[in-house]
Amino acid sequence: MELEMAPDERQAYTRRRTIRLLAGLFVAVLAVLTLYSNTLHSLGLPKVTTETPAHGSFRATFAGSAALKPVEQAELSHPDGWSVVELNVREGDVVRRGQTLATYDAGEFEWQLETERAALRKLELPREDLEEDYVRAVREGDTEAQRAARTALEHLNIDIELQQRLIERMENELAARLELTAPFDGVVTEVHAEEGMKSPAGLPEFRLYGTDKGMEFEVRVPANIADTLSVGDLLEVRTTGKEARTVEGTVESVDEVDELVEPGELADTNPTDSATSDSGTGTEAALAEEIRLLRIVVRDEALRGGERVRLELAAGEEGDALLVSSRALRWDRDGAYAFVIRERTGPLGNAYYAERANVELSGADDRTAAVVSGLSEFDRIVVESEEPLEDGTRVRL
């Protein structure tokens, strides 16, 4: 037989049970809120993308493109802007050195020349009289008249000689300016001259390029690759476009450039689209290095200039290396470094932190870097981050 509780005891018991229920409910709500707030906090952390280093062989690579231009080229127009009488070549014609491109109307210049010739004839008219005056003064023994005649005759001879020189110079100019000739063997690439017309304003009448010396282009190449080349080295150069083909290029010069550049600036490839990342300036600075200006000459009769060509180069030692993406590297005064993910266990779950790891590199290009020390093949390396990172920043994966 159950004992019945007194009213006071039953009331106390009910109060204690209510308190326990409320306490349990409070703890449960507190736990839920804690977990929820932790989740919200995690969502506010910068999200990162990671990779792990891999073993492989490393060779620094470079790919660049440029437009071909003639080694020897010329823009020609008549120096005095004379009208064209006869046009002797068309665009695309092959010409030889000294070949006439056009002949010109020298009417006004010829009139000036005839005027100077007439002036010479006028100067020569009194010469005979002065010579007779001199002979007469000598015969008569008139010293004063003799001196005056000789002086006058000498002055006249000087004036005549000067006028003859002027006429000779004008005749040479006329012969040189009647025709415009090719300064070298080459191809006519542009013709803006027209028969019966003067030189067009702002444009050359003819544009030529030389065929003997070929085409050239220049590219800026990282020093660690360019320094493996020497003047005279032969390289494969690929033309681009519908009729792409491989031609042979010769290294004409490897010149130092007084600047540091980012490898991504030298390459002609487009970077892969990605989320906003703080790896940009850090990675680029980490790979900033000396560059060289490489000039390459291509000799191929089918090339006319303006074609784009692509050059691919590689340098470095084959062998096993610890490789990471170049995007994972940063740089500051202390050198190159990367952010490594460290996992820490807590009462509410695992947390991830980005910690700085200083690294030593044996080589790098715009895609890959070879690490000598500072990383292991088991590390998770931050490649991209939504926000700039600092040592110890908590992140989410």
How much is the average pLDDT of 289-301?
86
Q: How far apart are CA 55 and CA 331, in angstroms?
A: 23
Residue 33: is its pLDDT beyond 70? no
Q: What's the pLDDT at 37?
A: 56
> Does residue 224 sit in the same domain as residue 257?
yes
Q: What's the pLDDT at 266?
A: 58
Band of the pLDDT at 280, cuts 50, 70, 90?
very low
How much is the average pLDDT of 195-206?
86
Residue 251: is its pLDDT beyond 90? yes
Q: What's the pLDDT at 303?
A: 82
Q: How many structural domains does the chain have?
A: 4
> Does residue 236 sit in the same domain as residue 303?
yes
Band of the pLDDT at 276, cuts 50, 70, 90?
very low
pTM for the full model?
0.54
Between residues 290 and 148, the one the model is more confident about:
148
Nearest to 172 by CA among 109, 97, 121: 109
> Does residue 157 sit in the same domain as residue 112?
yes
Band of the pLDDT at 182, cuts 50, 70, 90?
very high
Q: Do 329 and 285 contact (CB within 8 A), yes or no? A: no
> Does residue 188 sit in the same domain as residue 229?
no
Query: Which residues 6+ apart lie within 8 Å of 90 measured at CB?
Result: 188, 191
Structure tokens at 353: 């932190």
Band of the pLDDT at 62, cuts 50, 70, 90?
confident
Band of the pLDDT at 366, cuts 50, 70, 90?
confident
> Does residue 92 sit in the same domain as residue 182?
yes
Residue 31: is its pLDDT beyond 80? no
Virtual torsion, Cα 232, 234, 240, 245, nearest 10 deg: 140
Q: What's the pLDDT at 19?
A: 77
CATH code: domain of residue 100: 2.40.50.100
Residue 88: is its pLDDT beyond 60? yes
Domain that holds residue 202: 73-105+178-212
66-to-13, 73, 207, 290, 311 alpha-carbon distances in Å: 91, 18, 21, 20, 9
How much is the average pLDDT of 191-204?
86
CATH code: domain of residue 259: 2.40.30
> Does residue 195 sit in the same domain as residue 311?
no
Q: What's the pLDDT at 287?
A: 46
How much is the average pLDDT of 195-218?
87
Q: How far apart are CA 270 and CA 275, in angstroms?
A: 15
CATH code: domain of residue 351: 2.40.420.20
Condensed to tens digits (0 to 9), the pLDDT of residues 103-151 reads: 998 888 889 888 888 988 988 888 888 888 888 888 887 888 888 888 8
